[in-house]
Structure 1
């Protein structure tokens, strides 16, 4: 039974690897860094409205069926991106596929965590397979020369997810056969939104860093295959964290993890900017042990344990809107703009400094908040 969710987690991160590497394909079509950043941000823009739509839609139904539909639709629509070679048609088709493929990860992981919690199994250990699948896909994409094969693999990955969704245990939404609750931001804790603000700024650096890695390697005269290896190191370094994720969250607490991850992100990108040796740059990506994966897991843990089930789908939708939406928009568009003006390497410096400043600001905010509580008591 558990192996089905291991397989699902492995599969759903292959499309994420595809869209992390598609910037290299757009670069080969001679789109500018800014155009490339805009294309990379399309999925992030569509997730602002597609994710709440699909999460609400699935919340009143069997989630497996919704996951199967969006996956099959993605398998077809991906060929629209490949069919056109000029910017505007590619932009339109990227919007079309973005509306469906961005729902896959939130839906699949909401199914996984619900089923695994029922069985007393750690979601973190299943999520490790996502990191492994992402890493293997990135290594393969780094060496792949054929655009046709690249898109065929993307389409096949979507198809496999759709088929897998039909064979895992049926998972109903949180509010099936219940009175429909209207969404309100007031239903969710204020500290949740502060965490999301930190996530927006810090995870944007990760979105920029991964998407522009093949372009950075090209700009430095290195093989694009180094980008695939570097991102694979990034993904595989998540595995040790995920193996001990629940213990780490219990030991350190969510807020300490967010501060530490912000600093680790900043150090990673500043080192990537300052050192040109590809072997060292690849090694620096092991900082991911406590970067995106730490921020992601800490806030995801908060959502699924601290927020009541009747409002959980809304919190999950907002979480994913920030994680693969707002933070990506900021990372791709601002990063593309900075790269156009100052060079892609300096984009890494910009986001490295931003991550450290964000971590300091969040630490000061939480410290002052705890002092006020102590005085009131």
Structure 2
């Protein structure tokens, strides 16, 4: 087995690294770019994020089912490669369209970002996790390189933004070109015996995927995700709030770049340690732990004042996200059919996150304008705490892997 995957770990790690470089370069300062360069208000930015979330939702449903049918073939990854390479010109067109017509620009930007990044990352993560289960490496240790890619790009994003915001979009496209070269080198030749264990005696059908909707444990997972996915809404316009804490916006932009970079470096270290922690405390407890840290971070953001304390609350993200990602994959593999790993992750986690974000993003934008950032963060944190507390009683504890497998091939 090791022979077949000797190159998989470094190549998948590098793919994650450059995917996140492209994503961070184009999107880490997106809300600041929309506010300072394009001139949008918080409520208008919320509309863009709502369209983005709806697009990501549709992409995640399709991507997940198709990837489960493809197994370890790379068709969707090639599609994502083309979008990454085009990301620089696409963002320039996005800004131009917003100045002509807000609705037209929102639809274009939401479609492109949702299909490329918010929808695409789940495909790359689930593909990596699927290979890791048949290989000799932990998913978290490969995903760590994605965090390092985000950190590396974000470190320079604030400086490049102050020089010329378009430079970040150029970096995004260049990272896409490197992604193309790396993907061309990736060969995952799975032995027939392993392919049968992974995909079962027959291919995945639409009926298999739809049967997930009849499982109470699937809806228990969805309830947990409904709460924890609020962190994405929280993060959308956080750069604007953080930059406002400084004497000038230029200083705030640069400082946010440094803060976000430092946070993601810590996140990368967390990705390295998260598999050990989740293996010790169990997948369910890992999810609950991540949810409670998330609630604490949001509530604290609404209570503290000043850039130093706000920075400390932001850094808690580096503790919660690694545990959440590792635990969600392990929980799915323990409690559901492994053939549907991509569908479960992209629909049960990523897709649910997009649904909630599409509803909450415009509401959050209105709340920021009407009540301010701090009160809005308090409400978000309380919502996360409530759903996480309820999930203590609804999520299943650790089960032997055999219990997650169907007795008959047609049963999920």
TM-score, structure 1 length as denominator?
0.86
Matched, 1:203 2:229: yes
Superposition deviation, residue 281 in structure 1: 1.9
2:108 maps to what in 1? 93
> Are the structure 2 counterparts of residues 114 and 263 from structure 1 closer, same or farther at C-alpha, using a change threshold of 3 Å?
closer
Q: Please give the residue correspondences for 1:203-352 in structure 2 after superposition, counting only pairs within 5 Å.
A: 203-204=229-230, 206-222=231-247, 223-322=252-351, 324-352=353-381
1:135 maps to what in 2? 151
Matched, 1:165 2:174: no
1:68 maps to what in 2? 78
Indicate which of 3, 10, 13 corresponds to 1:6. 13
1:370 maps to what in 2? none
Superposition deviation, residue 45 in structure 1: 0.8
Q: Distance in 2 between matches of 1:157 and 1:126?
A: 18
Superposition deviation, residue 350 in structure 1: 1.8
2:124 maps to what in 1? 108
Residues 237-284 of structure 1, C-alpha deviations (whole Å, 9 max, x = no match):
223332222221122122222222222112212222222221232222
CA contact (8 A) 1:15 1:158 kept: yes
Q: Distance in 1 between matches of 2:179 and 2:262?
A: 24
The number of residue pairs the alignment matches comes to 366
SS of residue paired to 1:285:
helix
> Are the structure 2 counterparts of residues 42 and 140 from structure 1 closer, same or farther at C-alpha, using a change threshold of 3 Å?
farther
> Are the structure 2 counterparts of residues 259 and 110 from structure 1 closer, same or farther at C-alpha, using a change threshold of 3 Å?
closer
Between 77-86 and 108-117, report the one with greater CA deviation. Answer: 77-86
Residues 46-105 of structure 1, C-alpha deviations (whole Å, 9 max, x = no match):
122112223333444463232122221343244431433422232122133135304421
Matched, 1:55 2:68: no
Between 315-324 and 351-360, report the one with greater CA deviation. Answer: 315-324
1:26 maps to what in 2? 34
Indicate which of 208, 212, 216 corresponds to 1:187. 212
Q: Distance in 2 between matches of 1:337 and 1:358?
A: 23
CA contact (8 A) 1:218 1:224 kept: yes
Matched, 1:153 2:171: yes
SS of residue paired to 1:63:
coil
Root-mean-square deviation (CA, aligned residues, Å) is 2.8
Consecutive unaligned residues of structure 2, counting only runs of 5 or more, are 1-6, 397-412
2:97 maps to what in 1? 84
Superposition deviation, residue 338 in structure 1: 1.5
Between 251-260 and 320-329, report the one with greater CA deviation. Answer: 320-329
1:371 maps to what in 2? none
Superposition deviation, residue 305 in structure 1: 4.4
CA contact (8 A) 2:243 2:253 kept: yes
CA contact (8 A) 2:19 2:179 kept: yes
Q: Distance in 2 between matches of 1:365 and 1:111?
A: 28
Residues 11-48 of structure 1, C-alpha deviations (whole Å, 9 max, x = no match):
22224423242111111212111111121232221122
Q: Distance in 1 between matches of 2:323 and 2:356?
A: 16
Residues 126-166 of structure 1, C-alpha deviations (whole Å, 9 max, x = no match):
11111111122222222222121122122223333233222
Matched, 1:44 2:53: yes
> Are the structure 2 counterparts of residues 27 and 197 from structure 1 closer, same or farther at C-alpha, using a change threshold of 3 Å?
same
Q: Distance in 1 between matches of 2:21 and 2:199?
A: 30
SS of residue paired to 1:276:
coil
Consecutive unaligned residues of structure 1, counting only runs of 5 or more, are 368-377
